[in-house]
């Protein structure tokens, strides 16, 4: 900074000049930060995710079953493998966002043998795949393969969001397969109550002509479902997410986490048309999963047949799956060992948020470990 | 320059401050608005009208393309989709056979 001049009119000039410089410096800094923020958002769409080393042990159509390579000596492993099942919308790398932010890594470190079923991205040839087909045609075969590869007789299954609905459907349809532990995470299952303020209202018969939608578009575009999900909390999703990025831009590690989550949010997959139609009409509007009279390929869907140890985890601030939709299953299954756990988190934050490592992940590992011995 | 002065001259910092001050009340008001009955109705009407236009366009385009591909002696989308569906069914059959072979091998091993 230069020395102040002595003449009074020069004082005025000096102050004007100084404030102009300050303003222009601040504007430059603000613009630089803004430009960096935009770059971080754009880069987030290609940030590497799902990096935990794995091998493909089964494939059918676009579905893949991955076996994660162990991080501890095999003799230290629990003998009961864990299968992760994610929803039909978005991609399953939410379980393995980035090194250090990976539920998969965490469970491997705890000594679990981890498998992940990736449904893949449905194409036009999959538009006739029904919701139930994902269980009878895909999940059933993937489990069979996993048991073969792991040489185990029993297994544990963790379903997240609609993946939990599919996992529950599986458990109800195939009681003869030895499912020892079932973990449901934010599971939309019981739609007998349709609370206001959720997506439920948009799926009602008078508000969505699901036949017209599916007959027109075939597979329901992932972008449409993402838009619906974001619309439920417009301020948080369309503004808050970017405000958060602005606030954490000085922290490289936090930025990497934000980018991985943003990629997951934006990286959507279409919902197979028939599966969407069936989910809305049969499972959501008809609430058939809980009624005990629904038949799937000659088998009765009966939740009372579910005897696996059950850990049902509900996210307290879930705006996509209402609490009643997720927690009521605990009263409908026959499991002797069942636990309901409410975690103060959002639907996505429960698995992908910064606190997941300290609340959800240890909760799951701690519950599963004593139930996974031989 | 003091932090206060910095944020005064940084337009984005001011926007963030404004957002922080207002976001809770906005978020509640906006969430209530988009989950109201009237919003759901208006969204349904918009979707219905766009679906009507889109389905007509798609049908007409589909018919034109189908005729064109037929004349060019090329498979239509429907035919390609049918082949892909059959491939998936074949994959399933092979997967089941594979599992049966595994079972037989296990039994043979047990016998030995």
- The 10 Å CB-count burial string (b at 16+, else e) for A7-43 is eeeeeeeeeeeeeeeeeeebeeebeebeeebeebbee
Averaged pLDDT score across all residues of chain A: 92
Distance, in Å, from the CA atom of B51 to the CA atom of A214, rounded to the nearest integer, reads 10
> Out of B13, B30, B96, whose CB is closest to A234?
B30
A251 is catalytic: no
Size of interface A-B (CB pairs under 8 A): 108
A43 is catalytic: no
Structure tokens at A78: 């629990």
Residue A71 makes CB contacts below 8 A (sequence gap 6+) with A105, A108, A109
Q: Residue A160, Cα to own-chain centre: how many angstroms? A: 6
Which of A4-13, A138-147, B31-40 is predicted least confidently?
A: A4-13
Q: What is the mean pLDDT of residues B75-89?
A: 94
pLDDT digits (tens, 9 = 90+) for A190-247: 999 877 666 778 888 888 999 999 999 999 999 999 998 888 888 888 998 999 998 9
Distance, in Å, from the CA atom of A314 to the CA atom of A335, rounded to the nearest integer, reads 18
What does the DSSP 8-state code read for residue A221?
P
Higher pLDDT, B17 or A7: B17
pLDDT digits (tens, 9 = 90+) for A295-328: 999 999 999 999 999 999 999 999 889 899 999 9
Structure tokens at A194: 């349709």
Distance, in Å, from the CA atom of A115 to the CA atom of A171, rounded to the nearest integer, reads 17
Percentage above 70 pLDDT, chain A: 95
- Give which of A190, A191, A147 is closest to A303, Cα–Cα: A190
Measured in residues, chain A has a length of: 374
Please check the confidence at residue A2 and state whether its pLDDT lies above 60.
no
A161 is catalytic: yes
DSSP count for chain B of H helices, then E strands? 4, 0
Distance, in Å, from the CA atom of A351 to the CA atom of A101, rounded to the nearest integer, reads 10
Strand partners, B50: none
Higher pLDDT, B103 or A30: B103
pLDDT digits (tens, 9 = 90+) for A238-286: 998 999 998 998 899 999 999 999 999 999 999 999 999 999 999 999 9
Percentage above 70 pLDDT, chain B: 91
- Residue in B with minimal Cα distance to A205: B44
Distance, in Å, from the CA atom of A26 to the CA atom of A16, rounded to the nearest integer, reads 15
Distance, in Å, from the CA atom of A367 to the CA atom of A207, rounded to the nearest integer, reads 41
Which of A49-58, A289-298, B21-30, B62-71 is predicted least confidently?
A: B21-30
In the set A126, A133, A161, A190, the catalytic residue is: A161
Distance, in Å, from the CA atom of A285 to the CA atom of A192, rounded to the nearest integer, reads 9
Residue A68 makes CB contacts below 8 A (sequence gap 6+) with A52, A53, A54, A104, A108, A113, A114, A115, A116
Distance, in Å, from the CA atom of A321 to the CA atom of A195, rounded to the nearest integer, reads 10
> Out of A23, A144, A202, whose CB is closest to B99?
A144
Q: What is the mean pLDDT of residues A345-359?
A: 94
Residue B24 makes CB contacts below 8 A (sequence gap 6+) with none
pLDDT digits (tens, 9 = 90+) for A321-337: 989 999 999 999 999 99
The pLDDT score that the predictor gives to residue B55 is 87
The interface pTM score, or ipTM, of the predicted complex is: 0.82
């Amino acid at each position: 900074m230069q020395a102040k001049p002595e003449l009074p009119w020069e004082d005025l000039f000096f102050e004007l000049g100084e404030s102009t410089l300050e303003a222009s410096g601040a504007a430059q800094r603000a613009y630089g930060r803004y430009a960096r923020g935009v770059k971080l958002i754009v880069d987030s769409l290609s940030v590497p995710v799902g990096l935990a080393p794995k091998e493909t042990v089964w494939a059918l159509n676009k579905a893949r079953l991955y076996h994660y390579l162990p991080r501890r000596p095999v003799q230290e492993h629990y003998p009961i493998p864990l299968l992760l099942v994610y929803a039909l919308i978005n991609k399953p790398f939410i379980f393995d966002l980035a090194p250090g932010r990976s539920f998969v890594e965490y469970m491997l470190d705890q000594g679990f043998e981890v498998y992940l079923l990736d449904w893949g991205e449905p194409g036009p040839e999959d538009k006739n795949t029904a919701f139930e087909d994902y269980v009878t045609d895909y999940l059933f075969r993937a489990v069979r393969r996993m048991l073969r590869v792991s040489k185990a007789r029993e297994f544990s299954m963790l379903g997240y969001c609609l993946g939990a609905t599919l996992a529950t459907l599986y458990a109800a349809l195939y009681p003869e397969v030895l499912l020892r532990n079932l973990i449901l995470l934010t599971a939309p299952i019981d739609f007998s109550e349709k609370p206001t303020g959720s997506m439920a209202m948009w799926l009602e018969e008078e508000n969505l002509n699901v036949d017209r939608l599916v007959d027109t578009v075939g597979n329901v575009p992932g972008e449409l479902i993402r838009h619906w999900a974001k619309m439920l909390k417009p301020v948080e999703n369309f503004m808050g997410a970017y405000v958060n990025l602005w606030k954490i831009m000085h922290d490289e590690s936090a930025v990497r986490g934000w980018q991985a989550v943003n990629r997951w949010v934006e990286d959507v997959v279409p919902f197979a048309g028939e599966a969407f139609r069936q989910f809305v009409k049969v499972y959501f509007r008809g609430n058939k999963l809980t009624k005990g009279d629904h038949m799937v390929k000659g088998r009765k869907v009966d939740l009372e047949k579910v005897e696996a140890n059950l850990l049902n985890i509900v996210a307290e601030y879930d705006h996509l799956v209402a609490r009643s939709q997720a927690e009521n299953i605990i009263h409908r299954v026959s499991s002797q060992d069942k636990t309901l756990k409410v975690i103060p988190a959002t639907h996505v934050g429960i698995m992908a948020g910064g606190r997941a490592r300290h609340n959800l992940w240890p909760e799951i590992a701690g519950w599963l470990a004593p139930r996974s011995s031989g | 320059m003091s932090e206060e002065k910095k944020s005064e001259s940084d337009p984005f910092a001011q926007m963030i401050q404004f957002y922080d001050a207002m976001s809770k009340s906005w978020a509640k008001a906006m969430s209530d608005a988009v989950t109201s009955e009237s919003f759901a109705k208006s969204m349904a009407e918009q979707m219905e009208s766009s679906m009507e236009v889109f389905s007509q366009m798609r049908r007409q385009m589909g018919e034109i393309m189908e005729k064109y591909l037929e004349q060019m002696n090329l498979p239509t989308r429907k035919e390609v989709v049918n082949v892909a569906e059959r491939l998936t069914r074949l994959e399933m059959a092979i997967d089941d056979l594979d599992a049966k072979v595994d079972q037989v091998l296990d039994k043979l091993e047990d016998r030995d």
